[in-house]
Amino acid sequence: MKKLILTTCMVALLATPAMAQVDFTRYVALGDSLTAGVASGSIMDYYQVRSYPQLLATQAGAGLLQGPFIAPPGLQPILELKSFSPLSIGPTEMSPPADPFEYFYNLTLEAPYQNLGLSGADTNDLLTKTGNALNLVAGNFDNVVYDITLRVPQQPDPNTGDLIDYTAMVAAIGQQPTFLTVWIGSNDVLGAVLAATPIDGITMTPLDAFAADYATLIGGLAMSLPSTDIVIMTIFGDARWLPFAATVPTAVTVPGIGTVPLMGEAGPLGPGDYLTLPAAGLLGQGMGLPIPGSPPLPENLNPATGAPGVVLRAAEIEVINERLASVNGIIAGVAAQFPNVHLFDVNNLFADVVNGDYRTFGGIELSNAFLVGGIFSYDGFHPQNVGQAVVAGALIDFINDEFNADLPQLNMYAILNEGGWNAASPFAAICGGCDPKSAVMTREAFMQLYSMMLPELAARWDQPHLQRQTHSSSVD
Amino acid sequence: MKRQILMTAVVLALLPSLSWGAGFALFETGNKALGMGGAFTAVADDPSAFFWNPAGMAFQIDEGTQLMGGVIFIAPSQEFTGDSPYPGAGYTASLKDQVFFPPHFYFVKPLSDRVNFSLGFIAPFGLGTWWDDEDFRGRFISKRSDLMVFDLGGQVSWKICDRLAVGGGIDYMTATIELKKNVPFFNPYTQSVVDVAEADLHSDGLSNNAWAWNAGFLFKLPAGFSIGGMYRSKFTIKGTSASAEFTQYATGYPDVDATVASVIPFDEKPEITTELNFPDFWNIGLAWSNEKFTLSGQYGVMGWSVFKELAIQFPDYPALDSTVREDYSDSKQYRFGFDWRMSRMWSVRAGYGFDETPQPIESMSPLLPDGDRDFYSVGLGFISKKGNWGFDVGYEYLTMTERSTEGRSYDGFDGTFHDGIAHLFGASFTFKF
């Protein structure tokens, strides 16, 4: 008994007080647009400094995470809500600074960035792609995301001195982070939602390739950084959770007849079928209506022209969701293989949001609803500042549980009230100058997402002669 | 300030309300009992036996016809300090200063030398919280809430023998309920939360009611001891006669306002229904008296576990339905008091009590933040030379324990409710014929 008491006392002496058991001295975040803070179809400093890695770093006392900050209106002109009713979303008319060093004002920072979120990146891109800031000086913007983020194509290997490709993975390891988060995998699947067509190798990464890339990435990080706490994150597990896929109704009410399904090329839309946001623009042009003379809505991506489809059939949703589940299974499986890798289940968090099981903030309920749900930005794909805070808040809870840490929570009152980047200078509420018949999401707005997530297809579709040829089935 | 007090008094005269027994029970039904810390079940020797033990009336037959009336003023205060994520670390709020005054009236008439009849009017439950800030961050949960339950009851008590009496009666309970809060909306233009409406949910006068019953016994033992027990039944007030009024707040965006107006019925007063479960209450007490002194103690339990949720339904607008989770537990209370009859005319009293909160930390909210209460009381009693009239005054100082929601608030409104205190002061007058 005495021994037990003595042991208890010694354990009590050894136990450190309740404080952070996790070291944020050097925090690096790897990922895609979700990590970069992409919102409303653009990368812009207002949202970059409100990304979940920055919110986490601030709460952990790690200060500013350096990143490829971009002045307004963002890398592409950020999307604005032109009119809520009738609904119209399009790029801002604000012009970027003429001087590239004012536009990409953090480009000359003489240190690697800690936020290595690369818009549009899939898992393989973090392993293979490099960038070179000199491209920008030469006026070449083809690889802009990597050029502004990684900035140098090669660096000497600290062990051998040989030049090696300076990929996002290498950039992360080179900083010898004490804490690392990795949220990657969304672009390995969700291009299928954007183009409304799941095709392996075109809109989705084949599963075996993803599995190999993911294991290489996380395994490489875990073994190169054996004393680093690494948190990896699952991805949203259901295509229908994205406002991009779940907002446009699939039927119309015809006076005197009732509710009539809209028409895709493969016939009327049925239960379980969905339309993507650009479909609303086509409906506004008279397509897809259940009346004679109305051309049907384009079902699927035309890989030759790059023209996307707008109809997500139930069977396509099933294929995408099965893939999302497989990807999340692979992520969880990899997490279990390494003692310094910890799994944060974002998928579960968003399931709670969608199912109404997520917490309330003093009576304020957030949801995945487009425009009024509080989480997603105007592109219907990416979260804005509140959505980023939802991820960061849950990540803080996770870290506190997993590492017995004591990171303070975010002040959600402030975040819920600060608004978007343009909140201080709102547009005219009555649609000024915009065409009520214009798309819910203008073609320019869609192109920004498209070129971000599926750049090769977008480039193909962006060629004017092809647009003319495919006019009847394009998203305009 | 005077004007504010006047306004407060006018408003309260229309709608008296308060919150100062654990949960939202009130025990302020007489000033002798107040002075003795409410340890009155085994004493029950004035008409407030109506609440504390109806059997006590049977030992008052020799007093003849009695009329007693009075009031107890209650001045509570409460502070709140917030936590993150919501309403944010360091945020503070206070309850607005309010004074409540639950009344009590009793009429007692002997029917024979063994049977006494009594009528009573009391307020056994009440709640009033009003947060002192237009921008109060809990305004989407509650800005102001008022609940008052009135009990109009009749009782008969019977002295079975010189030492033993029983009593019981029925209670007609009526309630007024009001809840004011704001409605949040995520403004798609600014991408921030805005207030788009005020919701005022209220019962229509005193038209919601229920029946309850009560019973008690009082046994006078040898050597000055007495044992008493009482029971007041649970009841359910079905708020079928209630409605909501919504007032729209303009956001500055006409299309947003139009969308809001298409969802919330601003032009009508939609009917609401609710169901409020009130707890039963039992007490067992032991007292000892001689010519000069009475010492009394008691133990009681309120069956608060009946209060699981507060559901508000809009039969015509189901999308507006809401349910507030409460998850109360039964709560214990202890009370001790003494009465020192200094002369034939004057008595002094004191008491102490502890009232356990029935509320889990998860359901502490701006609507009703509760905590364990300790209370200390003193009182003074006077009986005229002829014994045909008298008065009692009492004062009680009540403190509520500081409690944090520990990040587990059902409403997502986390923080610490602290510095909860109340001053209670009142007077009762009794006339005997």
At residue A451 the predicted structure's pLDDT band, cuts being 50, 70 and 90, is confident
List residues in chain B touching A: CB distance below 8 A: 82-89, 91, 137-138, 140-141, 181, 184-193, 252-256, 258-259, 407, 411-413
Considering only residues A109 and B204, tell me which one the structure prediction assigns the higher pLDDT. A109
pLDDT in tens, A14-27: 333 334 479 999 99
pLDDT at A430 over 70: no
Percent with pLDDT over 90 in chain A: 73
Query: Which of A364, A368, A371 would you mutate first to test chain B, the one with the most B CBs within 10 A?
Result: A364
* Partner B contacted by A418 (CB < 8 A): yes
Identify whether the C-beta of residue B199 lies closer than 8 Å to the C-beta of residue B244. yes
| Distance from C-alpha of B197 to C-alpha of B400, rounded to nearest angstrom | 33
| Both tokens assigned to A171 | 């950039």
Residue A434 pLDDT class (50, 70, 90 cuts): very low
Chain-chain contact of A416 with B84 (C-beta, under 8 angstroms): no
Contact A419 B141 (CB under 8 A): no
Query: Which amino acid makes up residue A476?
Result: D
Among chain A residues, CA nearest to B188: A371
Burial of A390 (0-12, 13-18, 19+ CB in 10 A): buried
**Selection from B261, B322, B188 nearest residue A373 by Cα:** B188
To the nearest whole angstrom, how far is the Cα of B13 from the nearest Cα of chain A? 31
Q: How far is A359 from chain B (nearest CA, A)?
A: 6
Least confident of A5-14, A289-298, B413-422: A5-14
- Residue of chain A with shortest Cα separation from B182: A363
Q: With 80 as the cut, is the pLDDT of residue B97 above it?
A: yes
| C-alpha of B302 from chain center | 13
pLDDT tens digits, one per residue of B235-247: 999 877 889 999 9
The full set of domains in chain B, from first to last, is 2-188+202-242+274-308+323-432 (2.40.160.60)
Check residue A12 and give its pLDDT: 38
Is the CB of B141 less than 8 angstroms away from the CB of A362?
A: yes
Residue with tokens 């359901």: B363
A96, two tokens: 């970027």
- Per-residue pLDDT tens over the stretch A240-280: 999 999 999 999 887 888 889 999 999 999 999 999 999 98
Which domains, and CATH codes, for chain A? 21-129+167-244+315-418 (3.40.50.1110)
A85: pLDDT strictly greater than 60: yes
Query: Partners of A403 in the beta sheet?
Result: none
Nearest to A409 among B84, B137, B411 (CB): B84
Q: What distance in Å separates residue A419's CA from the closest CA in chain B?
A: 4
pLDDT for the residue numbered B17: 37
User: What element of type H or E holds B178?
Assistant: strand B164-187
- In chain A, residues with a C-beta closer than 8 Å to the C-beta of B137 are 362, 413
User: Cβ of B141 and A363 within 8 Å?
Assistant: yes
The average confidence (pLDDT) of chain A is: 88
Helix (H, G, I), strand (E, B) or coil at A28: strand
pLDDT at A426 over 70: no
Beta bridge partners of B425: B73, B395
What is the ipTM, given to two decimal places?
0.88
Whether the per-residue pLDDT at B13 is higher than 60: the answer is no
Beta-bridge partners for B325 = B309
Residues in chain B within 8 Å Cβ distance of A386? 191
Q: Which of B103, B95, B54, B59 is nearest to B78 (CA)?
A: B95
